[in-house]
Amino acid sequence: MANIKVNGKEYNVDATPDTPLLWVLRENVGLTGTKFGCGGAFCGACTIHMDGEAVRSCVTPLSRAIGKTIVTIEGVEDDIAKKVQQAWIEEDVPQCGYCQSGQIMAATVLLRENPNPSDDDINLGMSGNICRCGTYDRIRKAIHKASKM
């Protein structure tokens, strides 16, 4: 049994220490907004925040989450995240939508660390998040819009 804090709530989960946090969040905690994409930290669909940093939950063991503050797409609600989500809607970013929770989580950290990013900053900051539909131009435009809100 392990005790983890997710979106402000404590959870006592029955999983081995090496279980990927993605599966703990989805199967033990019941938060399915974080998606499985590749299982190797290449696509970004599983991006969450751990102590404010964007991490890939598919390769993060449960043992690393103990004592940390975990935020998933269901719990991200600071001012930056709200601006990102609003800009995402206004720019009609999602197409299939599968990658969007990971994209939003990465964009939120990017804007927290760099409130006025250039295109190059956005390309670098979002480079680990893949959109199979190719909405990168809309993603970039939404990040710029959110930075000005």
The pTM assigned to this predicted structure is 0.93
Is it the case that residue 101 has pLDDT exceeding 90? yes
Mean pLDDT value of segment 133-140: 94
Instruction: Delineate the domains of the chain, giving CATH numbers in brackets.
Output: 2-71 (3.10.20.30), 79-148 (1.10.150.120)
Q: How far is Cα 94 from Cα 114, in angstroms, rounded to an integer?
A: 23
CA distance 22 to 20: 5
As a whole number, mean pLDDT of residues 91-114 equals 94
8-30: per-residue pLDDT in tens? 999 999 999 999 999 999 999 99
pLDDT for 89: 96
Mean pLDDT of the chain: 96
pLDDT confidence tier of residue 1, bands split at 50, 70 and 90: confident
Q: Which residues pair with 71 in a beta bridge?
A: 49
Tokens 């669909």 found at: 45
Q: Which residues contact 6 (CB under 8 A, 6 or more apart)?
A: 25, 29, 31, 70, 71, 72, 75
- Digit-coded pLDDT (tens) for 36-50: 999 999 999 999 999
Q: Minimal CA–CA distance to 110: which of 74, 132, 142?
A: 142
Give the model's pLDDT for residue 97: 86
